[in-house]
Amino acid sequence: MRRSLFLEHALLPSGWAMDVGLDIEDGAIAAVHPGAAPAGRERIPGIAIPGLPNLHSHAFQRGMAGLAETRGPSGDSFWTWRQVMYRFLGRLSPEDVQAIAAFAFMEMLEGGFTALAEFHYLHHDVDGRPYADLAEMSARIAAAAAETGMGLTLLPVFYAYGGFGAQPAGEGQRRFLNDPERFLRLAEGARKAIAGLPDAVVGIAPHSLRAVTPGTLTEVLAATPAGPVHIHVAEQVKEVEDCIAWSGRRPVDWLLGHAAVDGRWCLIHATHMDGAETAALARSGAVAGLCPITEANLGDGIFPGADYLARGGRFGVGSDSNVEITAPGELRLLEYGQRLSRRARNVMAAAEGESVGRRLYDAALAGGTAATARRLGAIAPGSRADLVVLDAGHPDMAAAGDRWLDAYVFVAGRAAIDRVLVGGRTLVEGGRHLGRAAIAGAYARAMARIAA
Ligand code: NGQ
Ligand code: ZN
């Protein structure tokens, strides 16, 4: 399929350009013509920027957004939230998961994300038994991506234990569990499940150092020589303490010492690092997967962003628990966490005169592209035609150039989004997904079923 677009304004690798002709073939950009004539091309008014990848999501958690904000008897924490989350997922059928995922993916597209790495660990039936099709739930995630048009990197999760040192998993975790052999079969099933999706990718995700042993981690890595590898690490202080008690080392330090962590890897959160870990992670070439809204919601802590950036570390952003879904909002809170903790301004930019919005956007685009392992990241030949088009008539968009990204990230947020295209196909218009009515209806019915 061929399409020719005419973009009024576009952020190209060479900078901001006007009147850009875009030739698209099979969802990918074939040619870019700055200063093109509009004749014969479909006009896309507004300010086109490359779509941002969302590098970390647990789609099903969208269904419990707002349901864990009531104070409990004492000591509410990440760990009490996790109990609520386990109770919620204990009720979900494959149909529910598909409906919730489709709703979340739709909101991601409306919120400025055009690709997604789904960190998928809800594999089995409510009693912990595998479905007749081991990859049933993976197929549901793929179906939700097909329904919404979201670009998918599916990360089936390897989860085998309940805590450091091969502690047995609890009842709330039984839907997640596999030994390495069954996990590798499941990953094979996930590859089949995505086969019909344009340009989709399958990677793997050992859930966390809590959920694996050194031996099983080595085994699944050895069997998966290519593709992205994601893992949660050092999100909570208790996790750091437990890791030290188990191994004598901090989690990021342990991981960098025991696995060949490189550009294939994405370390989710990596919130609690000392200076040596921060430097070593930056050197490794891995991407730090930051989820500022969820990390704030769960009380995780603040990533050492300024030090990591100064050392050239790569990062991207993810919507994780999906309690609120907004690409510019994740970037804004990333910067604001740094400002609050350092009592300074404009922290995540390097040079005088550099726009923080632009710097955050460029960095998260590069990091998210690496972490999703898809052909993304620029309005340039070879890249998928994934575009977010901001409304040039929005009152906050009166300035131009990088000020547009500052306005998008710090001021207007997702309200500035007019149109979203994935693989050259328009999925969002006037800020709303074209399939919104049906997708929201199915979601509402699923939520009513779950509450019943
Ligand atoms: C998850 N989410 O797997 O959904 C985790 C919580 C855990 C976040 N860390 C469970 N945000 O880490 O054990
Ligand atoms: Zn997570």
The verdict on the CB of residue 338 being under 6 Å from ligand 1 is no
**What string of DSSP letters covers 158-220?**
E---SBTTTBPPPGGGGGG---HHHHHHHHHHHHHHTTTSTT-EE-BEE-BGGG--HHHHHHH
Domains of the chain: 2-50+387-422 (2.30.40.10), 52-372 (3.20.20.140)
Return the pLDDT at 141. 98
Please give the Cα distance from 110 to 113 (Å, whole number): 7
Percent of the chain at pLDDT exceeding 90: 99
At residue 350 the predicted structure's pLDDT band, cuts being 50, 70 and 90, is confident
Q: In testing the pocket of ligand 1, which one of 55, 56, 57, 58 has its CB within 8 Å of the most ligand atoms?
A: 58
Instruction: Tell me how far the alpha carbon of residue 320 lies from the centroid of ligand 1, in angstroms.
Output: 9
| pLDDT at 15 > cutoff 80 | yes
pLDDT single digits (tens) 257-274: 999 999 999 999 999 999
- Annotate 67-95 with b (16+ C-beta within 10 A) or e (fewer): ebeeeeeeeeebeebeebbbebbeebebe
Q: How far is the CA of 370 from the CAs of 26, 98, 116, 228, 288, in angstroms?
A: 22, 26, 12, 8, 11
Q: Which residues are marked as active site?
A: 269, 320
pLDDT single digits (tens) 58-93: 999 999 999 999 999 999 999 999 999 999 999 999
Q: Are 414 and 113 in contact (CB under 8 A)?
A: no
pLDDT single digits (tens) 119-157: 999 999 999 999 999 999 999 999 999 999 999 999 999
Compute the mean pLDDT over every residue in the chain, rounded to the nearest whole number.
98
- Annotate 159-190 with b (16+ C-beta within 10 A) or e (fewer): bbbbbbeeeebeeebbbbbbebeebbebbebb
Say which amino acid occupies 378. Answer: A
The verdict on the CB of residue 253 being under 6 Å from ligand 1 is no
| pLDDT at 1 > cutoff 80 | no
Whole-angstrom Cα Rg for the chain: 21
Return the pLDDT at 222. 98
At residue 187 the predicted structure's pLDDT band, cuts being 50, 70 and 90, is very high
pLDDT single digits (tens) 26-42: 999 999 999 999 999 99
| pLDDT at 452 > cutoff 90 | no
3-state class (DSSP) for residue 381: coil
